[in-house]
Amino acid sequence: MKLNRFATYAWAALGYNLLVIMWGAYVRASVSGDGCGSHWPLCNGEIIPSTGQVKTLIELTHRLSSGVALLLVVGLVVWARRAYPKKHTVRQAAMFSLLFIITEALIGAGLVLFRMVAENASIARAFWMSGHLVNTFLLLAALTLTAWWASGGERARIRGQGTIIAVFVAALIGMLILGVSGAVTALGDTLFPASSLAEGLQKYSSPTAHILLPLRILHPVIAIAVGVYLIFVASIARSQRPGVWTKRLAVVLVALVLIQLGAGALNVKLLAPTWMQLVHLLLSDLVWIALMLLMTVALTPAEAREERLRSSVPAPRTEELEETLKKYPALTRSREG
């Protein structure tokens, strides 16, 4: 990989957006989504809110950090348009990043304006949260591909790839389903906290249980199924699309999946404390990013993968070879023979 200044900026923008996403999760977990009332983009009808409530500061900080994220992506698009020709993959990915961060802001505004925040336990909020999660994944995908292609990564090719396309599409769909179930489960943990695992199971089995509660049981099952499938996908990618980066990213993906499953089990055992929810979400985002990169590398044309493989293995230097032969005359005789 070749990190030029634009690529470094693109990776930094991706990292910053991950931090903003984590803070947004903290807004939900701390029940601070109504910290600015039902006002947007103003906070409680003011540019600078006069109230000093903690939840107001939390929500305002999230809005400000989200605004910075938007400006970073706008800068990404402007720089990409100046540095790359028309129809270049970097320019296209940067434009998609801008599109998805705008829709991210609009969804956030809708959550506030329609009061789908704080203690709201409606089914409508669950759908809003699901849409928010899908859009966040798409934003991360666009930012990841922008940074990867700017770093010298080759563009993926869809045609002529065989069944591996279906394998990756199923993995992407599985991750989206898992992410949505996780987002709604986290919402249920926030709105209906349990003092023990037994109490949580009791609430789930109650005839009057809220519809969000069954996901406390379903989400771990979905997580295990998708996790096993992602490990299978990594194995398929390594065997059918050999290459240095395919191998590296497959290892990273498997490692992240295993860590994520362990973190999920710990999250259940600890009854989903806020800090663990944030760690769990971060790992989920990293798994998604690793999957996107592995898919992109695996779908790179074969000739590009071979060239990348050759360039990653340093050729022996003639001077070093001659020096070695001088030190060991037996090798010289063998060479001449």
10-46 pLDDT, tens per residue? 999 999 999 999 999 999 999 899 899 888 888 888 8
Query: What is the per-residue pLDDT across 217-247, written as a single tens digit (0 to 9) for each?
Result: 889 999 999 999 999 999 999 999 988 999 9
> What is the SS3 assignment for 46?
strand
For residue 69, what pLDDT is reported?
98
Query: What is the per-residue pLDDT across 142-199, written as a single tens digit (0 to 9) for each?
Result: 999 999 999 998 888 888 788 999 999 999 999 999 999 999 989 888 888 777 776 6
For residue 47, what pLDDT is reported?
81
Neighbours of 126 (CB within 10 A): 20
Mean pLDDT of the chain: 87
What percent of the chain shows pLDDT beyond 70? 85
Is it the case that residue 98 has pLDDT exceeding 60?
yes
- Beta-carbon contacts of 153 under 8 Å, excluding residues fewer than 6 positions away, are 1, 296, 297, 300
d(CA 299, CA 48): 49
Is it true that domain 155-311 has CATH number 1.20.120? yes
Is it the case that residue 202 has pLDDT exceeding 70?
no
Instruction: Name the band, by pLDDT with cuts 50, 70 and 90, for residue 216.
Output: confident
For residue 314, what pLDDT is reported?
42
| Domain definitions of the chain by residue range | 1-153, 155-311
Q: How far is CA 40 from CA 37, 65, 127, 235, in A?
A: 8, 15, 20, 47
Is it the case that residue 250 has pLDDT exceeding 50?
yes
For residue 302, what pLDDT is reported?
62
Is it the case that residue 334 has pLDDT exceeding 50?
no
For residue 203, what pLDDT is reported?
63
For residue 335, what pLDDT is reported?
45
Helix ranges (H only) for 1-122 are 5-29, 54-83, 89-113
Burial class (CB in 10 A: 0-12, 13-18, 19+), 322: exposed
For residue 309, what pLDDT is reported?
42
